[in-house]
Homo-oligomer: A and B are copies of this chain.
Amino acid sequence: MKPLTGRQQSILDYIARFMDDNDYPPTIRDIQAELTISSTSVVDYNLKVIEERGYIRRNRNISRGIELVQRDRSRRGSSMLSIPIVGQIAAGLPIPVPGDLESMGTGEDADVLEVGPELIGGNPAGVFALRVRGHSMVDALINDGDIVVLRRQETAQNGETVAVWLREERETTLKKFFLEGENVRLQPANVTMEPIYTRADNVEIQGKLVSVHRSIS
A binding-site residues for B, Cβ under 8 Å: 22-25, 27, 59, 63-68, 70, 72, 74-80, 82, 108, 112-121, 135, 138, 141-143, 161, 189-192, 208-217
Contacts and interface: CB of A to CB of B under 8 A. Distances in A.
Given A135-B191, A143-B141, A63 B114 contact: no
Given A77-B76, A215-B118, A138 B209 contact: no
A209 B56 CA distance: 39
Contacts of A82: 74, 116
A136 to B, nearest CB: 13
Contacts of A77: 74-77, 80
Given A74-B77, A80-B114, A143-B189, A67 B22 contact: yes
B23 A67 contact: yes
Contacts of A116: 80, 82, 112-115
Given A141-B142, A191-B135, A216-B161, A108 B24 contact: no
A215 B119 contact: yes
B75 A24 contact: no
Given A114-B119, A138-B141, 9 more contacts: A24-B25, A77-B77, A77-B80, A79-B114, A115-B116, A119-B215, A121-B217, A210-B216, A213-B214
Contact of A64 (B24, B67, B74, B115): B24
9 contacts: A75-B77, A76-B76, A114-B117, A121-B215, A138-B190, A141-B214, A210-B215, A211-B214, A212-B213
Nearest to A189: B143
A149 to B, nearest CB: 9
Contacts of A113: 116, 118-119
Contacts of A78: 76
A217 B138 CA distance: 20
Contacts of A63: 27, 63-64
A103 to B, nearest CB: 14
A58 to B, nearest CB: 11
